[in-house]
Structure 1
Amino acid sequence: MTHKAVQLETDGFLAKFFPLREDKAESDFPKLNHGLFKDLKDAESMSEAEVSEAFIKALNTVVDLSPDLTLSESLHRSDEGNTTSDLKVDAGFFRPTSVPTDGRPHWADQVIPVEFKSHDTKNDPYDDRPKKLLDADALTRKQVRGQLIDYAEEVFRYQHRTALYMLLILGRRFRFLRWDRSGTVVTPAMDYYEHPKVLCQMLWQMSLLNDEQLGLDPTAVRIRPDMPDFGKMDTAAIPQSSDVDHTERSLAGDAVIADNVVFRYVRKGFADSLGPDWPRYRLEIPQGDLVRSFLVGKPTFRAHGMAGRGTRGYIALDCQTGHFVWLKDAWRAFYELVNTEGSVLIDLNKKGVPNVPTVVCHDDILEQVTETPRCWEIANDPARKSKTSRTITRPSTVPAHSSSSQTVAESRPASSNIRKRTRSQVDDSEPAPPARTTPEDCPLRRHKHYRLVVKEVCMPLVKFQSGRQLLEIVYTCVRAHQAAMVDAKIVHRDVSGGNVLILPTVVRDPDTKTAEIKWWGLLVDWELSKPVHDNQGPPRARQPERTGTWQYMSVATLNEHTKVVETSDELESFFHVVLYHAVRYLSSTCTDAASFIDSFFDSYTFESGKYICGDKKAAVMLTGKLYADNRGKALLFKSPVDTFLRTLLRLFNAHYEEANLRADNAEEAAAPLPVIAPPQKRSTILKHFNARTPVVEPAAPPPNEPAPEEQRRALAMQLQHHDCFLTALEIAIEQGWPEGDRVKGDNVSAKYTPPVPVGPPQGASNKKARNESSSPDPPPSTPAGHQSAPL
């Protein structure tokens, strides 16, 4: 969420977000004691604990200051049972029925977090001075900002939110903050010792608001242990004798498996989501005139970070049918002419595209949209702009991590321009300058709340059991991609390891007619798809062109940010999916898989003000040579995987050579070099060494053989269609395979850390360090991260 803050004056913030309830009048405002904050006169020299204690004590002396909210301290203890985080915000406002008594933050119940800082400037994450950037640059101030982002993200992690309000106390000053998936709205710092009524007025009006006004999603109903839905979820989690083992195998000749069969991994996944440390919800989705309801626990998948789509995926229980389904909750990019993912999938389903999800229902949720971009428009409207309303967003020299997202080191890349991208998704073009005044040019991405439910509940690709199975799974997804482009005229644009999933499927062998359970691939996450580029079609939607998951994007799309994604780019992404998972999970000659993945998949280069492809990936795809290390040892898997990789590398080598030749010819045609006459006399240096330079004419190609350039062009042309990729997979799959080529576990140690980090840890603070494990294919977000060692 770096550099995504917008400032509103305190009175504007109060009017827009904390309006006075209709049944209340200004005369109802409680009477304040004289010298309310007298014990905080010297707050700048007090510790955080002292400030916290004195502040809460002062507020408690005002009768009915926050009648519907209670302030509870949690300075010293993190939530019990939370194994992923030790966060402990200083205090928080709770509804009277949910006030904790154990001094813990209780993230699932907290309504308004409150953070105290002992010094008003050193620890202020924002800078109000004119002509200064709102996001303060000093290290300690950036660390505090990262800490606040962590707190906001933790509330969004446990709860279903449209927005979150936060109170920040900085010595004698205070700020109110409002977080949503587009950014943060911040008030100027104000001295509450000198102006106690301003703070108390905001607290009073805030406490009178209902849950929806305070940012809780009304379509997400909390399920308490005494509610019937709670028991339904417990019952659905109990294993049944009818559950089917999902292992690949042949079935008995008379075996019959129903269409709505529950595989064991699905029910187990649902049961695992019902832990005692996580709240349960009933989520609602409009469907025409009706509303569908689904019961969920802890998300199976969650995008890290605050700004961005905030995608969460659940194994959900359908209240209407009693079946398990997959529910995706996200804040989609909200632009005209951009279809929702459900609409795209319905089109694919109607056109018979295989191996894609089947839609149960989908819709936007109550027209819930992010408000921060609107606040940016207000702050940047020339007709309304004044000395108290200024632009405070700015482009970041390192894009925020973000599906989006986390605070990152904000320093400009050093002279060594090789860096690493975190496992993330690129959904933004290069940062744009802030001096713009039209809504269309707002640098903050608009998001709209959206839910999608599909029939299939899958397993992640990392569960594959052998090299052959890996290629078979990818093969079925390439088939889906081909049908989508040819029959439905849709290009996916985000082929990645996280979007190639495993779906155990009952099939019949065409020859023996015997039934089998096979692990097929399902190509998912069509949210970023677009119609196949057609110059005759309508104008394209206003969405950045460079979109995809950094590790799997083609060299061409990484280097050319406005490039329209073509079949060759998508096939290269499938190639990277195979290579990544082969290096990480198959036996090979690579003795340091972590370093290989770092340098090939995660690295990037900062060149001419843009982030482009890392050197190793570019070198491999341009030369067609794949090495296990920097000493030139060949990367081999001693299986048909080698055949597949060699075949495709030959095609990509020709593709990039042809592309570079076209680019060179275009440059020469645009600016031809002057013709230089041959030298009038021999070089003095050559004469000094008595050199002999006989002229040798190039040999003519043998008769009836294509010239090298014709052969290269023919190879490159193959990547304009899927057949070359499918054929390479078919040939490899049908060869003999070694037993046990899938390693036990992971070739990358869970303890591995990148060699050269850049700046502080993402979201680091002086209270705690972020310690969240990352899956091989985490959620979408923006790239940035740590530096890689020189290649």
Structure 2
Amino acid sequence: STSLSQDKHDWRDILVIGELKKSEKEIRAKDTLLQISCYVRDVFAAQPTRRFVHAFTVCGTKMEMWVFDRSGPYSSGIIDVNTDRRQFLQVFVGYTMMSDEELGLDTFIARNEDGSKSITIKESESSEELTLRLSEMLTFQHAIVCRGTTCFLTDDGEVEGVAKLSWVSDKRRPEVELLKLAAQKNVQGIARIIGHSTITSIADMRCGLTFDNKHHDFKSATSSRVSSLHQSQPSAEPCHLNIHQTSSRKCKYPGKGMQVSKQPHFASQSLRTSQQNNELTFSIQSVHTPSLFDRNGKELYDNRVLRCLVISPAGRPIYKYKSPLELLMALRDAIKAHQSLYLDGNILHRDISENNIIITNPEKTDGHSGMLIDLDLAKEVGSERSGARYRTGTMEFMAIEVLLNVDHTYRHDLESFFYVLIWQCARNSWRKLNELQRQRQRQPQDSLLREWYTGTYVKIATYKRGNMEAGGFELVLQEFPLEFECVKHLCRTIRGVLFPYGREGMIVGTPQDPKILYDPIIKAYDDAIAVIEA
């Protein structure tokens, strides 16, 4: 109708994705799946707390149904529209009659009559139910196969903090346990727990499904298209399920008292695998093959658990700094927090990024200008490997050896801190573009840092190593605007600490004594801050 065509539609309103193509040969083409993957990624970006998304493709007379969740896509197999007309009609009637729960919409966050949103969790100490009102959304992820981390500010007068919802592998220790352990060991600079809740899991949502162990192979897919499926990790391979054995399937969701709408919706590698020795004493780290590539694994998918964790204090992400001084003070204190977490708490963070460092008010946080958050990927030192299927970290900030799948150490986190600093100076500093243009400064059109997040792990590691060499590093510093000229000496100093030279060239290995790195890096920050404040 005319009125319908004039309506504005948004990815936030999409319930089911469909793709129609003329040739039935395209039903098995990887580009067809990657195309609907791009659409699904946009749905997850617009609806970040969405649990899963239904999709279908009709190519000629062939049809295939898909479901995308945080562990990847799986399909029904192909049906013929002509010979399976009844099933074809059942599919579309099913889509139009699904409830919020069956469509994969978020049912944990309550939508109140006044338009506000709230959550109900268990209070950390008393285990009593605590209802908190949500305000601004702080962050979400632009990917399908990932933790889907989404954060909201919470502020009910008495309780001010951040609510985080994320899908974490059930092979990893829950973040709430690590935060409690850190509190018991008096770790400084780490958030405190207000409350938490376990909501559902991939296994719960896929219960009743029978998979036939067949996988699509997309090895030749271009990295730009495959990025629709994943974020900073190898892609999850789509599986088949036998749709004829799943007609009685019902999704199960834990949690009592959950209000779910039952109203129907209408479908609108290796540079070097060994580490070299120089004047410092280094520990040799072993190299492991990612379990995702283990074809003999018994599990068809990684079972992720959706949890909600509310922590305090609230703060601004590090990339929202207002001055070079604020940036350096926040990073210095976050590094101190990492040092305390590692040395006092015996916990390694393993996911240092611009999303996991916050700027805080030192008057409200015992003098901390910056704090470390998000222990989803952290582990207690000395514990066994989790068995989770992916490398830990965010691509742009991954250490060189982590990209090459060397065991994660404290030094790799310090290297990630360094990349966060460089990223803020060379990339985020240009947010004030109009002001900088008036000062006749031009942002680099083809940043060297672009290669930090595109391509294979080995290519990114190779490129980063070249950037950290003396000559290459000076080219990176040239991308800093004039306002950050005062930070260049700090960057050169930290580069010298993290990447010393031995007889065989630049070293990226880990000193056995953490003080060899922590002390000079923190001192370098102190000196740079003192110069700016003078």
Are positions 1:438 and 2:298 aligned together?
A: yes
Q: Which amino acid aligns with 1:146?
A: Q
* Residue 401, structure 1, aligned to residue 266, structure 2: no
Instruction: Quote the offset at 1:301 in angstroms.
Output: 1.3
Residue 474 of structure 1: CA displacement?
1.0
| 1:730 is the counterpart of 2:490 | no
After TM superposition, the structure 1 = structure 2 runs for residues 475-486 of structure 1, keeping only pairs within 5 Å, are: 475-486=332-343
Name the counterpart of 1:181: 70
Deviation at 1:343, TM superposition (A): 1.9
Structure 1 residue 476, shift from structure 2 partner: 0.6
Which residues in structure 2 correspond to 1:300-379 (within 5 Å)? 300-318=138-156, 323-335=159-171, 338-367=172-201, 369=203, 371=205, 378-379=211-212
Instruction: State the partner residue of 1:583.
Output: 426
Deviations 1:73-128 (A, max 9, x none): 99956635x5xxxx6xxxxxxxxxxxxxxxxxxx44x55x263525142553xx2x
Could you say which structure has the higher helix fraction?
2
Alignment of 1:626 onto 2:462:
no
1:572 aligns with 2:415: yes
* Residue correspondence of structure 1 range 128-147 to structure 2 within 5 A: 136-137=29-30, 139=31, 141=32, 145-147=34-36
The amino acid of 2:388's aligned partner reads: Q
* Aligned residues of 1:310 and 1:404 also touching (Cα < 8 A): no
Find the counterpart in structure 2 of residue 525 from structure 1.
Answer: 374
* 1:192 corresponding residue in structure 2: 81
Q: If you compute each CA radius of gyration, which structure gives the higher value, 1 or 2?
A: 1
Query: What does 1:691-702 correspond to in 2, within 5 Å?
Result: none
Alignment partners' CA distance in 2, 1:447 and 1:206: 25
Structure 2 matches for 1:1-80, cutoff 5 A?
A: 76=5, 79=8
Q: How many corresponding residue pairs?
A: 472
Confirm or deny that 1:551 pairs with 2:396.
Answer: yes
Displacement of 1:206 in angstroms is 6.3
Amino acid in structure 1 at the alignment position of 2:495 = L
| Pairwise CA distance, 1:208 | 6.3
Contact 2:454 2:460 in 1 (8 A): yes
* Corresponding residue of 2:489: 643
CA distance 1:593–1:432, shift in 2 (3 Å):
same
Determine the C-alpha separation between the residues in 2 that align with 1:73 and 1:171. 29
- % of aligned pairs identical? 19
**CA 162–574 in structure 1, closer or farther in 2 if over 3 Å, else same:** closer
The 1-side partners of 2:396 and 2:508 are apart by 26
Task: Give the alignment partner of residue 121 of structure 1, picking from 5, 9, 24.
Answer: 24
User: How far off is 1:660 after superposition?
Assistant: 6.4
Q: Using the alignment, how far apart are the partners of 2:103 and 2:364 within structure 1?
A: 51
Partners of 1:651 and 1:719 within 8 A in 2: no
* 1:330 partner amino acid: S
Deviation at 1:329, TM superposition (A): 1.2
Deviation readout 1:733-758 (Å, 9 max, x if unpaired): 222568xxxxxxxxxxxxxxxxxxxx
Match of 1:491 among 345, 348, 351: 348
Q: Return the alpha-carbon distance in structure 1 between the equivalents of residues 48 and 391 of structure 2.
A: 32
CA RMSD of superposed structures (Å): 4.4
Question: How far apart, in 2, do the equivalents of 1:491 and 1:407 lie?
Answer: 20
The equivalent residue for 2:265 is none
- Gap regions ≥5 residues in structure 2: 236-287, 431-435
C-alpha spacing 1:358/1:718, structure 2 compared with 1 (3 Å): closer
Change (3 A) 1:465 1:434: closer
- Please, which of 392, 408, 411 is the counterpart of residue 216 of structure 2? 392
Please give the secondary structure, in 1, of the residue aligned with 2:168.
strand
Match of 1:277 in 2: none
Q: How do 1:145-544 and structure 2 match up within 5 A?
A: 145-147=34-36, 149-151=38-40, 153-154=42-43, 157-158=46-47, 160-203=49-92, 210-223=99-112, 227=113, 229-230=114-115, 233=116, 281-287=117-123, 290-296=128-134, 299-318=137-156, 323-335=159-171, 338-367=172-201, 369=203, 371=205, 378-380=211-213, 390-392=214-216, 400-401=226-227, 404-405=230-231, 432-433=292-293, 435-436=295-296, 438-439=298-299, 442=300, 444-506=301-363, 520-532=369-381, 534=382, 538-544=383-389
Write out per-residue CA displacement over residues 242-279 of structure 1, whole angstroms, 9 at most, x where no aligned residue: xxxxxxxxxxxxxxxxxxxxxxxxxxxxxxxxxxxxxx
| Deviation of 1:480 (Å) | 0.3
Quote how far apart the aligned CAs of 1:497 are. 2.1
> What's the CA shift string for 1:269-300, capped at 9, x where partnerless?
xxxxxxxxxxxx43333457644333336633
Aligned 8 A contact 2:347 2:378 in 1: yes
Give the structure with the higher percent strand.
Answer: 2
Q: CA deviation at 1:431?
A: 8.3
Structure 1 stretch displaced more, 469-478 or 349-358: 349-358
Which amino acid is the alignment partner of residue 192 of structure 2? T
Identify which of 649, 652, 676 aligns with 2:498: 652
Q: Tell me the distance in 2 between the aligned counterparts of 1:650 and 1:405.
A: 31
In the TM superposition, what whole-angstrom CA distance separates every residue of 1:298-349 from its partner, at most 9, and x where no partner exists? 633111122221111112345xx664431111111221xx211222222223
1:394 & 1:73 partners in 2: Cα distance?
42
CA offset at residue 453 of structure 1?
Answer: 0.7
Q: TM-score, normalised by structure 1?
A: 0.52
In 2: Cα distance, 1:333 partner to 1:201 partner? 34
1:595 corresponds to 2:441 = no
Q: For the Cα contact (< 8 Å) 2:291–2:388, is it kept in 1?
A: no
Q: What corresponds to 1:244 in structure 2? A: none
Q: 1:431 to 1:611 in 2, by over 3 A?
A: farther
* Cα distance, 1:356–1:659 mapped onto 2, change above 3 Å: farther
Structure 2: distance between partners of 1:589 and 1:469: 25
